[in-house]
Amino acid sequence: MDMSVDVQHQAMGYDRTATMFSPEGHLLQVEYAEKTVRLGSSSIGMVCADGVFILADKRVNDKLIVQKTASKIYEIDSHIIASVAGIVSDARVLIERAQLLSQQHRVTYDSQIEPELVVKEVSNIKQQFTQYGGARPFGSSIMMAGVNGKRPELFTSDVTGNYFSYHANAIGEEDEKMREKLREKYRQNQMLKQGIKLALDIYQEIRGKKFEIDKFELGYIKIGEKLQRLEGEEIKNFVK
């Protein structure tokens, strides 16, 4: 019986460490971590003319959980927010590192840190865990949105430690379907309310009858203002 390439690689042990390349040049543990990210709850981020936002699906179904403790949008600083997909406990370590870096910059330079410097630090930590033995890669992608002076910015850092700046992006479950919709409908000159409504429409189109506004959380930063948070019906009221 013929074995698939993946099964052959597992049998030969190429997936036992993050530092071992397969004959085809793949790091299998890193690719497994990428699959984990695509099982996580999703987020859509978007740069708009007057600011930037992240809309996140909290995907919490248990009524016994206190909803505020299940937040998917994290405050890095008053001008930077982040959302994650994948193993949230992995991401929490990186989020705390980002918060510490931002605080240290304020104390040292008495100014706000640039969002890209935070993303770069987080990405450097991720990269280290794909190169050294004895540890597995971080099983999470992080989407970070912020305002650099008067310029809204959006970044995404994947499990390999790569990061890119985006006009709009999606991470987590069904991320490729969401990106296809964003490529069709995103406009760079749209305002926050228009962008948030577009993100809600994309979720509603993809989820269909499973769409529930109460499971969503929104974080947005207008240029010159601080982070604002909305949940559930508050989001619908905001975009009316």
Instruction: Indicate whether 20 belongs to any domain.
Output: no
Domain that holds residue 205: 42-239
Q: What is the CATH number of the domain that holds 79?
A: 3.60.20.10
Domain assignment present for 85: yes
**Looking at the domain assignment, is residue 25 inside a domain?**
no
Is residue 126 assigned to a domain? yes
What average pLDDT does the chain have?
89
Query: Does the residue 2 lie in any domain?
Result: no
Domain count, the chain: 1
Q: What pLDDT shows up at residue 198?
A: 96
3-state secondary structure the chain: CCCCHHHHHHHHCCCCCCCCECCCCCEHHHHHHHHHHCCCCCEEEEEECCEEEEEEECCCCCCCCCHHHHCCEEEEECCEEEEEEECHHHHHHHHHHHHHHHHHHHHHHCCCCCHHHHHHHHHHHHHHCCCCCCCCCCCEEEEEEEEECCEEEEEEECCCCCEEECCEEEECCCHHHHHHHHHHHCCCCCCHHHHHHHHHHHHHHHHHHHCCHHHEEEEEEECCCCCEEEECHHHHHHHC
pLDDT given at position 61: 76
Q: What is the pLDDT of residues 41-98, one digit of tens each?
A: 999 999 999 999 999 998 877 778 887 778 899 999 999 999 999 999 999 999 999 9
Residue 3 in this model has a pLDDT that exceeds 90: no
